[in-house]
Amino acid sequence: MSVSSPLAGKKILLGIAGGIAAYKCVELTRRLTEFGADVRVVMTTSAKSFITPLTMQAVSGHAVADDLLDPNAQSGMGHIELAKWADLILLAPATANLIARLRAGFADELLTTLCLASPAPIAVSPAMNMEMYLASATQENIAVLAQRGMHIWGPGEGPQACGDIGPGRMLEAHQLVDLVVDFFAPQKAIFKNVNITITAGPTQEALDPVRYISNHSSGKMGFALAEVAQKMGANVTLITGPVALTCAANINRIDIKSALDMHAASLQTLDHCDIFIACAAVADYRPEVIAQEKMKKQSGVENLTLHLVKNPDIIADVANHLDRPFCVGFAAETENVEAYALDKLQRKNLDLIAANDVAKADQGFNSEKNALTVFAAKQRFDITLADKKKVAQQLLEVIHQQYSTTNND
């Protein structure tokens, strides 16, 4: 069990239907149990074509239930006891077929019977080919399940096993675990009706149609902030440079490439922005001219000089706006962290600055973890090394406290 066990004592019945995404259930079960949950697995007959009950037994630590009419299984935890036992039924992957059977109220095998017989809340994680997902029958079925109070978690978008690209991928194990954690301990909506703009990721400064100057920012910190802020009730606009990350559909995501694009998009949000968090690693300079055609290597030319011009400072411009929002900057430093951060706080006219030492190997750029020291004009808060989502939560709590104080002055 992990040190923090947000799911300690929670009983989760994982229902696996027959889809290729069933392989994700190994990781899902492992993570749920690591978080302290007691996981019992029920598989449909077709699920066993994709993953074996033995594998699921090994990761969950319990025999897998799969047969409504098995006298041995019924003499242990019978289907009615299993139905009563669960705190949450998680159906992942929920195929188009399982979703249709749930809607119709079938009790044709153990899993569908349990869903009918259980008073527990049910979460459905759809996984199927995009055309099947977009088919009106499936859409109607999902809408009916949602109306009945079932939680619909996903699907995600991206490449599918069949080669198509689109909606229908089962959410990743870590995303489902986050949803389960939120389900049991929902975030307090401290930012209800608050509009938050967050910049994230790197910017790309084009040299020609195929080349650019950029940096190693992964965008993970900004995306974690966006996700947690949204769960805390905020209306979130996420302005992001090119990154390999997805975000929840109810986050207003604006994809940009250059610092100038990010600057324009940021200023456009200011009519409805209460808090502005600049997490992006914006390029300080951009090429003065962008070549119309690909720049050719010239024989005999050993050195090339690029002329760069300074990019606008996005957060400084936001902070100097007439009706300015509460402004939070980041300072990624490799030395003199506190001195540089405090200088930026003052020079850019910010309310808060979150400083991190990116020279440390286990935090900052591209890492899963981060540690921050947050400075206000006269206060300082330390957020110790943790997963970026946990850090995001703590930073947003500091922001909320400071923002509320400023607003009530």
- Measured in whole angstroms, the distance separating CA 37 from the mean position of its chain's CA atoms is 21
Nearer to ligand C5P, 27 or 284 (CB): 284
Nearer to ligand C5P, 88 or 327 (CB): 327
> Which residue intervals of 119-205 are DSSP H helices?
130-134, 136-147, 173-184
**Beta bridge pairs of residue 89:** 13, 122
| Minimum distance from residue 256 beta carbon to ligand C5P (Å) | 13
Interacting residue ranges for ligand C5P, rule: CB under 6 A: 199, 259, 278, 280, 282, 311, 313-315, 329-331, 344
Nearer to ligand C5P, 91 or 259 (CB): 259
Nearer to ligand C5P, 150 or 352 (CB): 352
Residue 379 · residue 373 · CB < 8 Å: no
Nearer to ligand C5P, 138 or 240 (CB): 240
Which among 324, 328, 319 is positioned nearest to 376, based on CA atoms?
A: 328
The token pair that represents 61 in the structure block? 């630590």
Those residues with Cβ within 8 angstroms of residue 98's Cβ, 6 or more apart along the chain or in another chain: 15, 17, 44, 91, 111, 112
Instruction: Specify the length of the chain in residues.
Output: 409
Nearer to ligand C5P, 313 or 351 (CB): 313
Q: Give the 3-state secondary structure of residue 199.
A: strand
Phi, psi for 345 (deg, rounded to 5): -55, -45
Nearer to ligand C5P, 67 or 284 (CB): 284
Q: Catalytic site residue 327?
A: no
How far apart (Å, rounded) are the C-alpha atoms in residues 250 and 227?
Answer: 10
Which among 26, 109, 120, 108 is positioned nearest to 65, based on CA atoms?
A: 109
How far apart (Å, rounded) are the C-alpha atoms in residues 81 and 119?
Answer: 11
Q: Give the 3-state secondary structure of residue 94.
A: strand
| Minimum distance from residue 198 beta carbon to ligand C5P (Å) | 10
| Minimum distance from residue 316 beta carbon to ligand C5P (Å) | 7
- DSSP secondary structure, 205-234, as one string: EEEETTEEE-----SHHHHHHHHHHHHTT-
**Helix pair 173-184, 24-34: axis angle to 10 deg:** 40
How far apart (Å, rounded) are the C-alpha atoms in residues 211 and 298?
Answer: 16
Q: Is the dihedral of CA 158, 163, 167, 170 positive or negative?
A: negative
Nearer to ligand C5P, 33 or 356 (CB): 356
| Minimum distance from residue 266 beta carbon to ligand C5P (Å) | 8
The token pair that represents 201 in the structure block? 């990721």
Q: Which of 115, 162, 247, 327 is catalytic?
A: 162
| Minimum distance from residue 100 beta carbon to ligand C5P (Å) | 48
Token pair 């290729």 is found at 20
| Minimum distance from residue 239 beta carbon to ligand C5P (Å) | 10
| Minimum distance from residue 315 beta carbon to ligand C5P (Å) | 4
The token pair that represents 379 in the structure block? 């206060």
Cα diameter, the chain: 84
Interstrand relation of 151-152 and 308-310 (parallel, antiparallel or unpaired):
unpaired
| Minimum distance from residue 326 beta carbon to ligand C5P (Å) | 14
- Measured in whole angstroms, the distance separating CA 391 from the mean position of its chain's CA atoms is 14
Tell me which residues are annotated as active site: 162
